[in-house]
Amino acid sequence: MLSASVDEHGEKKRCGLVAIVGRPNVGKSTLLNALVGQKISITSNKAQTTRHRITGVRSEGAAQFVFVDTPGYQTKHSAALNKSLNKTVVSVLTDVDIVLFMVEAGKFGADDAKALQLMPKGKPVILIPNKLDEVHRRSDLLPWLKSMQDKFAFAEFFPMSAYSTNDIERLLGVLKPYLPEQPWFYDAEMLTDRSERFLVSEVIREKLFRLTGDELPYNVTVVIDQFAEEGTMRRIAATIIVERDAHKGMVIGAKGQQLKRIASESRQELERLLEAKVFLEVWVKVRSGWADSEEHLRSYGYE
């Protein structure tokens, strides 16, 4: 007989929260998407793309892993936005079962050190040296791994590449024994607790960053003004909020070509994601100083 506490082979069910922490750009979102097996968190080569706490769920055999993505730990800026980001990291860590502390293999800078200071005591913290594919001789990594051992009492070291499906499967195997034996929190089909509306704003933000390259500052946000189901169609209206007129120009581009591309690529991806026809309108607005105002942050959904 099946029950909530055992799987079909009689194995006790396990379920737990796994946080992924590290400085910006180490590959946290890439890892989360690979672990869940679907794009949940946006990725780009621009630091600081993840702002929200995002959970992704992977259910396999008797185990359910609930992954929590955290914003890159911020050290360079002091605006209210960054304070809010760091607060999110700390609050995520207080209620997790395992922490994956991610760095780039062979590297450990001042920003990594600051992120390491946030690690909770008394919880298993696994060191994930990522981007192993960029390390030419693995043996070069040994002295570095030794030096990492002196910095923190890591439960395990797991050098890997978030691009390797083999590594992802092995990592799930390593994490499983750390999950407490308890009934699952979510249905087996569940992938994320984020709303479609949220995923829509993330898709648009990703296209925006991918297409505008490095010139656009990170404090650009996307607000969904309308998200309506009309039969088999979704009608979506979104506003990209920037700080300056110059940024508005970058987003719109010559003769509006850039904004057109952002909207068109977003629409195509949204049609795949939502499995529906999508009618998408995207506007751009200037709202100067929003990233410094606590009130504005709240009104756009940041904690």
Ligand X SMILES: Nc1nc2c(ncn2[C@@H]2O[C@H](COP(=O)(O)OP(=O)(O)OP(=O)(O)O)[C@@H](O)[C@H]2O)c(=O)[nH]1
Nearer residue to ligand X within complex by CB, 133 or 229: 133
Contact 290, 219 (CB under 8 A): yes
Phi, psi of 99 (to 5 degrees): -120, 130
69 marked as part of a ligand binding site: yes
Least separation in angstroms between residue 246's CB and ligand X is: 23
166 marked as part of a ligand binding site: no
What distance in Å separates the CA atoms of residue 182 and residue 16, rounded to the nearest whole number?
Answer: 8
What distance in Å separates the CA atoms of residue 78 and residue 184, rounded to the nearest whole number?
Answer: 39
What distance in Å separates the CA atoms of residue 149 and residue 171, rounded to the nearest whole number?
Answer: 19
CA distances for 208 relative to 11, 26, 71, 162, 223, angstroms: 46, 21, 18, 24, 13
What distance in Å separates the CA atoms of residue 38 and residue 29, rounded to the nearest whole number?
Answer: 11
Least separation in angstroms between residue 5's CB and ligand X is: 34
Q: Which residue number places its CB atom closest to ligand X?
A: 72
Least separation in angstroms between residue 187's CB and ligand X is: 26
Nearer residue to ligand X within complex by CB, 42 or 263: 42
Q: Six-digit token pair at 4? A: 């909530």
Least separation in angstroms between residue 182's CB and ligand X is: 29
Nearer residue to ligand X within complex by CB, 134 or 193: 134
7 marked as part of a ligand binding site: no
Residue 72 CA to its chain's centroid (Å): 9
103 marked as part of a ligand binding site: no
Q: Binding residues for ligand X, per CB under 6 A?
A: 22, 24-30, 43-45, 47-50, 72, 130-131, 133-134, 161-163
Nearer residue to ligand X within complex by CB, 133 or 181: 133
249 marked as part of a ligand binding site: no
Reference 273, options 194, 193, 203; nearest CA is: 203
Contact 280, 271 (CB under 8 A): no
Nearer residue to ligand X within complex by CB, 50 or 82: 50
151 marked as part of a ligand binding site: no
Least separation in angstroms between residue 131's CB and ligand X is: 4
22 marked as part of a ligand binding site: yes
Write out the binding residues.
22-29, 69-73, 130-133
Write out the binding residues for GTP.
22-29, 69-73, 130-133
